[in-house]
Amino acid sequence: MAWHSEMQIASRQFQCGFCGNKVATDKGFFNKDGKYIVYLCPHCQKPTFFDERANQTPGIAPGKDVGHLPPELEAIYNEARRCVSVCAYTAAVLACRKLLMHVAVQQKAEAGKTFIHYVEFLADNGYVPPNGKGWVDHIRKKGNEATHEIVLMKIEDAVELISFSEMLLKFIYEFPASVPIIQN
Ligand SMILES: [Zn+2]
């Protein structure tokens, strides 16, 4: 696929928010005063926009794909990751909390509890590795706002919670499914 009238412009390296590849290209478009630039990914051909401060849209979704997830968990995990790529950090955190609560209930936690309750449930039941307890304390500190409060989240909060979720999902769904079958 090629774009109509694509131009040769100053080369730039970036990570494509669509395909995730680190790319370098000099193909794209710019506006009249050169403040806004669109680069075309040489891998997937999709356009990435840069403003005058080099802010990138779409940004990069943090975290890695996790295999063997139930479809609804995969959808919400990827939705949380994509939220970060469009600067929707609070939405990303809320999606991760929903995800972790769902995972805990699937692992037989009692329904209708708080997010922190579920994080502690996962830790107490061996789903968090022994050296990952610091994570649990950190998430408890971050996530214990009262239900009537809206606490806006920063990018670090969202990225941290996504990597915690990635670790748990790999541990609970991906690794057990990739155990080699032992032949007797
Ligand atoms: Zn791409």
Ligand 1 center to 20 CA (angstroms):
6
Contact yes or no for 122/103 (Cβ under 8 A): yes
Task: Determine the Cα–Cα distance for residues 167 and 174; give it in Å rounded to an integer.
Answer: 10
For 91-148, how does the pLDDT look when each residue is reduced to its tens digit (9 = 90+)?
Answer: 999 999 999 999 999 999 999 999 999 999 999 999 888 888 888 888 888 887 777 8
Ligand 1 center to 60 CA (angstroms):
11
Q: CA nearest 103: which of 174, 163, 165?
A: 165
Ligand 1 center to 15 CA (angstroms):
8
Ligand 1 center to 49 CA (angstroms):
12
Ligand 1 center to 40 CA (angstroms):
8
The count of C-alpha atoms lying within 13 angstroms of the C-alpha of 178, restricted to the half-sphere facing its C-beta, is: 10
What token pair was written down for 21? 């590849």
Q: CA nearest 169: which of 133, 140, 139, 127?
A: 127
For 20-76, how does the pLDDT look when each residue is reduced to its tens digit (9 = 90+)?
Answer: 899 999 999 999 998 999 999 999 999 999 999 988 999 888 999 999 999 999 999
For 149-183, how does the pLDDT look when each residue is reduced to its tens digit (9 = 90+)?
Answer: 889 999 999 999 999 999 999 999 999 888 877 76
- What is the reported pLDDT for 141? 82
Ligand 1 center to 174 CA (angstroms):
26
Q: CA nearest 28: which of 17, 36, 38?
A: 38
Q: What is the DSSP letter of 91?
A: H
- What is the reported pLDDT for 129? 84
Task: Determine the Cα–Cα distance for residues 39 and 16; give it in Å rounded to an integer.
Answer: 10
